[in-house]
Amino acid sequence: MRATSDSHTVGATAISVFVAAVAAVAGQGSYTLSAGIPVTSPAAVDAAALRHRGQALGYNLDREEALAAFRDAIAADPSDPAAYRLTAAALWIGALFERGAVTAEDYLGQARSDANRQGPPPGLESIFRKNLDRAMALAEERCRASCSADGHVQLGAAYGYQATYAATIEGSLVGSLRAARRAYAEHQRALDLDPARKDAGLIVGMYRYGVSELPLAARLIAHIAGLGGGRERGIRMVEEAASYPSEVRTNARFSLIVIYNREGRFDDALRVVERLQQEYPRNRLLWLEAGSTALRAKRPEQARRALEHGLEMLASDTRPKAFGELARWGYYYGATLVALNADQAARRALEGALTGPGHPWVQGRIHTELGKLAERAGYRERALDEYRQATRLCTADNDDVCVKEVKNLTVGVHR
pLDDT tens column, 292-330? 999 999 999 999 999 999 999 999 999 999 999 999 999
What's the pTM value of the predicted model, to 2 decimals? 0.86
Residue 208, pLDDT > 70, answer yes
- CATH 3.40.50 matches 12-281: no
Domain with CATH 1.25.40.10 in the chain: 286-414
d(CA 180, CA 162): 8
pLDDT tens digits, 44-57: 889 999 999 999 99
Answer yes or no: are the C-beta atoms of 256 and 269 closer than 8 Å: yes
Query: Which has more confidence, 65 or 32?
Result: 65
Question: Which pLDDT value is given to residue 393?
Answer: 97
Question: Which pLDDT value is given to residue 40?
Answer: 54
Residue 203 identity (one-letter amino acid): I
d(CA 395, CA 332): 20
pLDDT tens digits, 352-396: 999 999 999 999 999 999 999 999 999 999 999 999 999 999 999
Q: Residue 62's CB: how many other CB atoms inside 10 A?
A: 18
Question: Which pLDDT value is given to residue 354?
Answer: 97
Question: Which pLDDT value is given to residue 119?
Answer: 63
CATH classification code of 286-414: 1.25.40.10
Chain Cα centroid distance, residue 259: 11
% the chain with pLDDT above 70: 83
Answer yes or no: are the C-beta atoms of 241 and 277 closer than 8 Å: no
Question: Which pLDDT value is given to residue 38?
Answer: 46
d(CA 147, CA 398): 45
% the chain with pLDDT above 90: 65
pLDDT tens digits, 388-409: 999 999 999 989 999 999 999 9
d(CA 376, CA 165): 44
